[in-house]
Every structure is written in structure tokens, then in C-alpha cells.
């Protein structure tokens, strides 16, 4: 089964989210080709060609793809799918935006956020906010798959020497136009790829407490900073910090939940972390049911002390 994997990139650099998708595609058992769509993406293509296990890198370089709008990228993918049995995209906001559009144009059902490849046509995926795992079999001739990044190892970024081939650019999207982007600035590791994540919840009370308590602890541990929806909605931190069913799904080595009660929507985003540490003053908080290490205490006292003693 030859698979085409959509490369996640920001125009200048290949994003790590691509790597677990390559691993998942490799498990389908056939050749793995990558697609880089963008404008001026030579460097991304070079990086993609070095990924272990990749047979070929297709590059669609042109103005229609500069912002990777699904209205332009989906027809490009569909045009290439004659040669492929599967289209695989990372389950990032970009992958989730374009893959179902591809699936519908091919008249196939998409398999969303797969956790494992059980066979060439069967996969596991989470449903009900991760409270159940379904094994599903696709009867479609071509598969369209998005891959949950935390469920697969990252493919090695060295060792490959794939051939790079240009594909003809299609047309600019007539129905949609990019206006602007607003990027949250962060010096810390990216949330979805971090080994350690320190997350804060509503109990922090305000944004200043978030910066004065959560961030120093995160910096001491070299960790990424996350948040519960309550903390995001209250405006303590930007939206893209949110961990949960509707935010980011993380599975770091260590997840430290501070002042987070542990609603099922939050647990959906972090319960596959290897070690969960919870600090909460409510000893009945549901977070303690999944925490490996729990400390019942006032975060305003505990967190500064912890930061100091580390």
C-alpha cells in the first residue's frame, strides 16, 4: 500500500508533527512518499528527503500553496491520489482542516486520529473524549487517515535519501483568501512535543499568578506550559496553551497538573502521559484518580517551594 504523507511545515522548516505520521504510514506496509505543498519550500523538501523510511518527496512549490489553504491543497492531493492507496496527515489543525476535504472529494470515509495500525485496513482510534477505543475497518479502496502524533514514535530525521520530484502546481483557491496570522510567541518547547509539561488551571486566579508561579517551574524543568480550558477562558493564557479534547493532545514523559480539577475533557488531552503529577488543594479532585504522584496542598505555597527545591 503506497502512502502519501502530508508534510507539516511553516514555510521555512519541517515540523516535528510530520514524523509520527511517517511512522504510521510506514506501518501500512508499502512505500512512503511525502508531499510538501507551499511556496519557496526547498529547505523543507531537503529536510523531508532525509527522513528515514521515505522513498520519494513530491514538492508542489507555487503561489497557490503559500498559506496551504485546504481549498487549494485538497485538489492538489486528490490529483496525486491516482498513484497512492492512502493519504496520511498528522492530526494537527492543518491536517484536520485538509484531510476530510480530500476524503470527501475521493468519496471515502476518513479515519480520524488513529492510535495504531492493526492491519492494512484496520485501525484503532479514540472516541468519546478518549473514554473508549474503537477498532475500525475501512471498506474504502483508498484510505484517508489522520494520525495522533503522541501515539506513534517519531521517524528519524536522518538516514533517508529520498529523491525529490516537483509536481505541477494547480490553481489558486477561488473561494478562500488568506488575510493574516497571529502567532503566539514562546521560547519554551512546543507543547505537543515537550518531554515535560507544566499545566495550570483556574485555581491560579489570574494571568500574573500564571507567569509568576507556573512559568518559573516550567523553566526550571525545561518544560512546556499548558493550561486547562478554564484558565484559557479566564484569559490567563492564550488559546493555544489549552490541553484537552478541544485543545492539544499531549503525552509527555511527565505532566504536572497544578490547580486543575481533572474534568474528562481535560483528561482526554493528557491521560496518556507517562507520569502524571497533580497538585491540588481539593483531595477529592478527579485529577488524583489518574495521577501517579499527588500532593494535596495550596499551590500558592507548594509551587514556589517546589521551584526553589528543584
Return d(Cα 284, Cα 291) in angstroms, integer: 12
Q: Which is nearer to another protein, 204 or 278 (CB)?
A: 278
CB 66 within 8 A of CB 39: yes
Q: How far is the CB of 181 from another protein (least distance, A)?
A: 5
Q: Which residue in 43, 52, 169, 302 binds another protein (CB under 8 A)?
A: 302
- If binding is defined by CB under 8 A, does position 149 make contact with another protein? no
Q: Which of residues 9-48 bind another protein (CB under 8 A)?
A: none
Return d(Cα 25, Cα 90) in angstroms, integer: 10
Q: Which of residues 248-267 bind another protein (CB under 8 A)?
A: 248, 253-254, 264-265
Q: How far is the CB of 27 from another protein (least distance, A)?
A: 17
Nearest to 147 by CA among 15, 53, 21, 51: 21
Q: Which is nearer to another protein, 113 or 160 (CB)?
A: 113
Q: Which of residues 159-178 bind another protein (CB under 8 A)?
A: 173-178
Question: Max alpha carbon distance in the chain (Å)?
Answer: 61
Using DSSP bridges, classify how beta strands 163-166 and 56-61 pair: parallel, antiparallel or unpaired.
parallel
Q: Which residue in 134, 166, 171, 208 binds another protein (CB under 8 A)?
A: 134
Q: Which three cell numbers stand for residue 98?
A: 485538509
Q: Segment near another protein (CB under 8 A), from 46-54, 79-87, 121-129, 164-172?
A: 121-129
- If binding is defined by CB under 8 A, does position 305 make contact with another protein? yes
- If binding is defined by CB under 8 A, does position 104 make contact with another protein? yes
Q: Segment near another protein (CB under 8 A), from 43-51, 56-64, 98-106, 153-161?
A: 98-106
Q: Which residue in 38, 130, 160, 259 binds another protein (CB under 8 A)?
A: 130
- If binding is defined by CB under 8 A, does position 5 make contact with another protein? no
Residue 54 burial (CB < 10 Å; 0-12/13-18/19+)?
A: buried
Q: Which residue in 82, 83, 132, 284 binds another protein (CB under 8 A)?
A: 132
Q: Which is nearer to another protein, 63 or 133 (CB)?
A: 133
Q: Hey, what's the torsion of the CAs at 234, 237, 241, 244, to 10 degrees? A: -10
Q: Which is nearer to another protein, 27 or 101 (CB)?
A: 101
Within 8 A by CB and 6+ apart from 64, the residues are 72, 76, 169, 170, 171, 172, 173
CB crowding 108-119: b at 16 or more within 10 Å, else e: bebbbbbbebee
CB 19 within 8 A of CB 51: yes
Q: Which residue in 16, 140, 172, 219 binds another protein (CB under 8 A)?
A: 140
Q: Which of residues 55-94 bind another protein (CB under 8 A)?
A: 67, 69-71, 74, 92-94
- If binding is defined by CB under 8 A, does position 116 make contact with another protein? no
Q: How far is the CB of 91 from another protein (least distance, A)?
A: 9
Q: Which three cell numbers stand for residue 191?
A: 507543547
Tell me the backbone φ, ψ of residue 101, rounded to 5 degrees: -65, -40
Return d(Cα 112, Cα 251) in angstroms, integer: 18
Q: Segment near another protein (CB under 8 A), from 21-29, 42-50, 161-169, 292-300?
A: 292-300
Amino acid at each position: 500500500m503506497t502512502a502519501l504523507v502530508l508534510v507539516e511545515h511553516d514555510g521555512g522548516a519541517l515540523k516535528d508533527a510530520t514524523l509520527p505520521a511517517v511512522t504510521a504510514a510506514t506501518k501500512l506496509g508499502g512505500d512512503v512518499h511525502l508531499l510538501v505543498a507551499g511556496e519557496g519550500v526547498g529547505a523543507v523538501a531537503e529536510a523531508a528527503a532525509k527522513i528515514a523510511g521515505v522513498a520519494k518527496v513530491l514538492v508542489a512549490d507555487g503561489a497557490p500553496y503559500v498559506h496551504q489553504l485546504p481549498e487549494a491543497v485538497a485538489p492538489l492531493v486528490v490529483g496525486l491520489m491516482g498513484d497512492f492507496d492512502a493519504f496520511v496527515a498528522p492530526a494537527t489543525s492543518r491536517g484536520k482542516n485538509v484531510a476530510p476535504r480530500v476524503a470527501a472529494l475521493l468519496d471515502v470515509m476518513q479515519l480520524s486520529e488513529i492510535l495504531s495500525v492493526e492491519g492494512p485496513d484496520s485501525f484503532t482510534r479514540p472516541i468519546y473524549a478518549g473514554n473508549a477505543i474503537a477498532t475500525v475497518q475501512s471498506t474504502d479502496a483508498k484510505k484517508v487517515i489522520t494520525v495522533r502524533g503522541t501515539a506513534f514514535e517519531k521517524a528519524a530525521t536522518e538516514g533517508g535519501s529520498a529523491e525529490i520530484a516537483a509536481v505541477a502546481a494547480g490553481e489558486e483557491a477561488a473561494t478562500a483568501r488568506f488575510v493574516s496570522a497571529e502567532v503566539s510567541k514562546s521560547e519554551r518547547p512546543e507543547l505537543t512535543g515537550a518531554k515535560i509539561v507544566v499545566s495550570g488551571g483556574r485555581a491560579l486566579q489570574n494571568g500574573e499568578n500564571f507567569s509568576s508561579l507556573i512559568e518559573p517551574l516550567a523553566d526550571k524543568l525545561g518544560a512546556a506550559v499548558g493550561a486547562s480550558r478554564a484558565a484559557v477562558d479566564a484569559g490567563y493564557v492564550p488559546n493555544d496553551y489549552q490541553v484537552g479534547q478541544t485543545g492539544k493532545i499531549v503525552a509527555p514523559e511527565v505532566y504536572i497538573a497544578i490547580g486543575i480539577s481533572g474534568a474528562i475533557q481535560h483528561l482526554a488531552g493528557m491521560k496518556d502521559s507517562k507520569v502524571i503529577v497533580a497538585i491540588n488543594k481539593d483531595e477529592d479532585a478527579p485529577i488524583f484518580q489518574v495521577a501517579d504522584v499527588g500532593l494535596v496542598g495550596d499551590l500558592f505555597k507548594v509551587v514556589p517551594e517546589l521551584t526553589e527545591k528543584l
